[in-house]
Chain A
């Protein structure tokens, strides 16, 4: 059993840069946590603070309820996989994997057992005697994984381990790491800027922006219930469409006015807006491209737009539709015969509409849920 806890952790560099702000996180045993965010969001810094490679400016880090702030990396019982592998070039792959165990004065037979076990899991047995420079990128990354596995640590830390691999290998190794996690039943903390990696691998995802945790949730909840506009836009590809609108009450129903047209929202959203007092206020409407339906129409009305660009991806087609002054992306069936210049009518799926506060960018539905819980 191992747990990890970050309590109000801050990182301020000597030059004044505040890389991580009041980070709170509780990781349970056997979780696969992914830190994700755009570059410079503090995700790597957070990981390096857990590893002990970076000092914690403020706050506490606990592993198994023990404060780890001033414990050196080697005594934290963690293993780390680096972005550029960081293999020791003058050692064979066997020696690379055995290095940490040798330093801990483990008996030779035990080292041998652990290394050959890890090697067989990762398919490295035939190349144990080679040196890293003789290996391909994917093999090197697996040696680096092996070096972490043999240590049998409480927590695995991975800093963008796949970003140096080519696209095909990345998908393959992604699956391997997921399998490894199921097999080892240990806590993983994984840093990436790639939302696909985050969504496919993580049991829980921590979305960071400018050093602030935006949301910690399961992949499904991040997608379905983003707590703010940033998460809504960051998760999902192509990006969620954001349209400025206004919630108005007409005849007992709340209607969203946007781009000179309007539509009635479902009950859940109506109650949410009422409870949080957004009636007759400006809101940002968020709708994912896959939650739009598009129909060709001859008749020009307030809610028709013109297809500007089509991107055929094979399994789906992205449409860039000009609607008044906005461009809206829709993801549609490729069999829909749509061409540039077509006049189309766009409809939002009522139960998939997201609503955000214009200023704080907070999700209004999330706010409503929060106030209900209180």
Chain B
């Protein structure tokens, strides 16, 4: 190995370490803070692990976690978020895969313009429609949960459609034709042949849609302003109040943030293997 390549390697790992630190330190700090009591949080200098203010021994406290799970708003928020994010994801995948099949595999007039309009929609600033949508849901008297699900489709659907379209396009047309000759209707071809093959793409886009809906704050805050019972978890956390007036319940907020992140991390880990696109192997010579 030459000196130059060695230096390159060292540089690479330094960069890697920096990126890791940059990404993981805030998360680590949230975990650290969530395990501290109010008194421990006030310690200066701040400690890298929760320590007893007097003795200096390591002493993590689960007080914050106990408090947030006693908080009805928070527990309800998790439930609301789950319902909204799961419904959004399901709807986006169903509608998105239909659209993607048509856009990726069928020939019709206006296919290209349709694709570019969809792409343009993914770049749409959502704030611009917020006020208008609020007026619409008020006029239609829609419940806050339904409103959130519909509003989240504004950003999940174009994205899922776009990604799935390119995936459908990549599937060999001969598969479709073969199914057609075998006697499958277009829907059977879609449902029984192409859809199982898009599973990796479905999982990936589904996860991203779920995360986007799970983390969404702006629409949720606006739409639940008249219905506090429908607040999703990000909104519920923002509404955390301390035991005394004007107190910022920092430890609880950090604990809540950790609790909210864990399901996402678990989902990604669980589906990790399926996110590898390799399912079409063996379909055609390649």
Contacts and interface: CB of A to CB of B under 8 A. Distances in A.
Partners in one complex: yes
A355 interface: no
A151 B181 CA distance: 10
Interface in B97-144: none
B183 to A, nearest CB: 4
A38 interface: no
Contact of B182 (A72, A74, A90): A74
B182 A89 contact: no
B284 to A, nearest CB: 4
Interface stretch (A57-65, A75-83, A117-125, A175-183): A75-83
Contacts of A135: 282
A89 B177 contact: no
Contacts of A82: 174, 177-178
A84 B285 contact: yes
Contacts of B192: 99
Interface string A84-111: 1111111000000001100110000000
A73 interface: yes
Interface size class of A (residues with CB under 8 A): 20 to 34
B282 A73 contact: no
Nearest to B178: A86
A53 B197 CA distance: 22
Nearest to B176: A86
Contact of A133 (B178, B185, B282): B282
A236 B281 CA distance: 38
Contacts of A74: 180-185
B241 interface: no
B175 interface: yes
Contacts of A104: 183
Contact of A86 (B172, B279, B281): B172
B242 interface: no
Contacts of B280: 89
Interface string B186-203: 001000110011000000
B173 to A, nearest CB: 9
Contact of A103 (B172, B184, B285): B184
A87 B282 contact: yes
B197 A84 contact: no
A79 B181 CA distance: 6
A133 B278 CA distance: 11
A53 B180 contact: yes
Given A133-B282, A140-B282, A89 B180 contact: no
Contacts of B180: 52-53, 72-74
A51 interface: yes
A103 B283 contact: no
A103 B281 contact: no
B62 to A, nearest CB: 46
B183 A100 contact: yes
B181 A73 contact: yes
Nearest to B195: A90
Given A86-B172, A90-B196, A80 B282 contact: no
A53 B181 contact: yes
A276 interface: no
Contacts of A53: 177, 180-181
A78 to B, nearest CB: 7
Given A84-B172, A86-B177, A90-B196, A100 B182 contact: yes
Nearest to B173: A86
A80 B177 CA distance: 9
A26 B107 CA distance: 32
Contacts of A83: 174
Contact of A99 (B182, B279, B281, B283): B182
A363 to B, nearest CB: 38
Interface in A124-178: 131-135, 137, 140, 147, 151, 164
A231 B270 CA distance: 62
Interface of A: 51-53, 72-74, 78-80, 82-90, 99-100, 103-104, 131-135, 137, 140, 147, 151, 164
Interface of B: 172, 174-175, 177-185, 188, 192-193, 196-197, 279-285
8 contacts: A86-B174, A86-B175, A88-B178, A89-B283, A90-B196, A100-B181, A100-B183, A140-B285
3 A-B pairs with least C-beta separation: A133-B282, A100-B182, A84-B284
